[in-house]
Amino acid sequence: MHIIQEKILQLMDNENIGKMTLRAIGEAIGELNSPQKIKHHLDQLAKNGLIKIDKSKNIIERVKRGIVAGGKMMAVPILGSANCGEALCFGEENFHGNIYISQSLLKNFKNIFAVKVVGQSMNRAKVNKKDAISDGDYVIVDKENKSPQNGDYVLSTIDGMVNVKRFFRDKKNNQIVLFSESTQDFAPIYIAENDFVDYLVNGKVVQVLKKPQEEDMWQDAAGSDTVKHLGNMSKQEYDHYNNL
């Protein structure tokens, strides 16, 4: 997140910036004579789901995490990305906005966050006995579960770098082993007992939100367009052409 956006959010903790001019907001955060810059960063905060802007009522307010008004949707915070290969992505808890999910799609929504996956080293995983973890998917992490059992999938930090792996504590050899489960050949990560201080479990992966396959989206769109141009037809004919 840009430093100006962080300053705006901090200012909102103490001030009703909806009643302030862009120039006044800029002056309050040390950005003098930059109203267009302030407008740009307000727009970015709104685009990322961090604030709501109602210009007609002069209201600018932060979006609260948790259940969205109406009780059907959850605003789950996205805390960056995590690598599924070597621990390559820097693991700061950097708030990247919210992902909005129907409560009916979530198995647990008490204290969770989302992370976007980078890499294919977990594309043969079986989260909840069925879900692989592929590049571009989001994983939902239970931040209260930081004492994983052997075989759990975890989001963890090694020397400040974050990854998703399958956890195994090898008591016999006084080490933790993090396994990949992939169609490719990735070596495990071994952490010795005297290095446990540099290893942190951020939480247990409890769910995978799958990224739609682009080719499937194009096929569905093409099939629908074909059916539209064929005019009236029976259900059997419709199913036939729609599944081509």
Question: For the chain, which ranges sit under pLDDT 70?
Answer: 1, 64-71, 85-95, 108-109, 214-244
Domain count, the chain: 3
What's the CATH code of the domain at 157?
2.10.109.10
- Write down the pLDDT at residue 127: 93
Is residue 189 one of the residues assigned to a domain?
A: yes
Q: Are strands 89-90 and 138-142 parallel, antiparallel or unpaired?
A: unpaired
Is 182 found in the same domain as 121? yes
Hunting for tokens 């300053």 — which residue is that? 7
Q: Report the candidate in 223, 242, 225, 244 with the shortest Cα–Cα distance to residue 234.
A: 242
Are the C-beta atoms of 165 and 178 separated by less than 8 Å? yes
pTM over 0.85: no
- Write down the pLDDT at residue 238: 47
Question: Is the four-CA dihedral 193, 199, 203, 206 of positive or negative sign?
Answer: negative
Q: In Å, how far are 22, 71, 205 from 42, measured between CA atoms?
A: 10, 27, 32
Name the residue range of residue 52's domain: 3-62
Is residue 55 one of the residues assigned to a domain?
A: yes
Please work out, in degrees rounded to the nearest 5, the angle formed at the alpha carbon of residue 78 by the alpha carbons of 41 and 216: 105
What's the CATH code of the domain at 20?
1.10.10
Is residue 68 one of the residues assigned to a domain?
A: no
Is residue 140 one of the residues assigned to a domain?
A: yes
Question: Is the four-CA dihedral 169, 111, 86, 135 of positive or negative sign?
Answer: positive
3-state secondary structure of 154: strand
Is residue 170 one of the residues assigned to a domain?
A: yes
Is 194 found in the same domain as 129? yes
Strands (E), 174-233: 175-179, 189-192, 199-209
Q: Report the candidate in 124, 109, 121, 90 with the shortest Cα–Cα distance to residue 188.
A: 121
Is 184 found in the same domain as 168? yes
Is 242 found in the same domain as 198? no
Is 112 found in the same domain as 78? yes
